[in-house]
Amino acid sequence: MTPPPTGLFRHADFRRFWAADTVSQAGAAVTLVALPLVAVGTLDATPFDAGLLVAFEYLGFLLIGLPAGAWVDQVRQRPVMIAADVVRAVLLFSVPAASWLGVLTLPQLYAVAFGMSVCTAFFDVAHGSYLAHLVPDEQLVAANVRIEAGRSTVQVGGPGVGGALVGALTAPVALAADVLSFGVSALLLGRIRRSGARPTTRPTTRPGAGLRTEIAEGLRFVLGDRLLRAVTFTAAVSNLCGTVGASMLVVLLAGELHLSPFLCGLVFAAEAVGGLVGSLLTVRFTARLGQGPAMCAAVAGSAVLWLLAVPLFRADGRFVLAVLLQALGWVLFMTFRITSVAFRQRLCPKPLLGRVTATVRFLVWGVMPVGALIGGVLGQSLGVRQALWAGAVGELLAVLPVLCSPLRRMRELPYDRSEPAPRSSVGAAAG
């Protein structure tokens, strides 16, 4: 069931897994533009309303992120992902249905966003654990590169298509594209032959241990490892501050600058282009600088570029430069994103993967509702652009945890010490 080192796409199950993730991300790229535009354009949401919507989009990770990991470790991951896709499709379909009936409200959008976040919390925990069972350790970096490249590729056109659909069909109707994508994703996942490992023993937990003990194991592993703790805190600070500004970006573009839905989508499309280029350059960048130094440089450089973009979001020629800087920031940041995920998957013993992934998601994504609320409050009280400034300045602090750790000097990150050392991840990914 495992592929030869030189050909991940010869692995039929990985192809289906990759295709399911890619098509799901294509629809999600449309929703990235359409859902905020439903709130701002269709329902006349205030900056605080828009921030609250973003908060609900991530609230599931804060509320059920930790128990989701403990539960996913005790079941097969593939059925969890299929069920999450089906429920997300149903939730999203309720938005255009309510719009057609003339009963769409902001509370319904909040409920849909929260339900989506709960499903995504379960899906992402299962996704990370299942991938580590699907491919060998020495190919995890290469597998993550291919997954991120696929996501970035479809996200290049997705927001632009989403903006065009919003302009032609209205924002609620544009969400129907995402409904279809989740359905196709569920079908592709259903065709995978390998169902994933279901652990029958707990090497670090006594038999009959309760949910609290399961959760505590994940927390101890993440917070007890100095390197993993630094990577997690860096990601958390970046997400917290990034969401402060991101929650207000559509409000600025559509609400204050009165840009067309297509131009609003263009900003997110440019970020996806940057993510695609960054994912393709990650292996080369880490091979040249070393994995640890490359991660530090990626976080610091992307923060500076995003800060420079804030004053350039105007309804004139400066908008093009702002979009370019935004994209370049993502070119750099993808090195940190891909390398940190592969590092966690290699370092963590497989029976703990679900809990560790959920713990990281809880710490990294759980701060995003807080950031969105802060952005909404700042946007309502001080102004939307001031909220963007606050988020961009805060992003500069994200590099401190990794910069103050041994990571800044480590060319090769460690692996799970309970198993034989895998072949160099950088070399495997390059191959």
Q: Give tens-digit pLDDT for 361-402.
A: 788 888 888 999 999 999 999 999 999 999 999 999 999 999
Distance CA 306, CA 322 (A): 9
Residue 347 — pLDDT band, cuts 50, 70, 90? confident
Distance CA 92, CA 87 (A): 9
Q: At what angle do helices 318-347 and 353-365 cross, to 10 degrees?
A: 150
pLDDT of 331 reads 92
Residue 166 — pLDDT band, cuts 50, 70, 90? low
Residue 311 — pLDDT band, cuts 50, 70, 90? very high
pLDDT of 426 reads 38
Distance CA 45, CA 107 (A): 11
Average pLDDT, whole number, for the chain? 80
| Selection from 16, 46, 182 nearest residue 115 by Cα | 182
pLDDT of 402 reads 92
pTM (predicted TM-score): 0.72
pLDDT of 429 reads 37
How large is the average pLDDT for residues 24-40?
Answer: 77
Residue 208 — pLDDT band, cuts 50, 70, 90? very low
pLDDT of 133 reads 76
Residue 114's alpha-carbon distances to 63, 351, 353, 413, in angstroms, are 10, 29, 25, 36
Distance CA 104, CA 90 (A): 16
Q: Between these two residues, 92 and 264, which has the higher pLDDT value?
A: 92
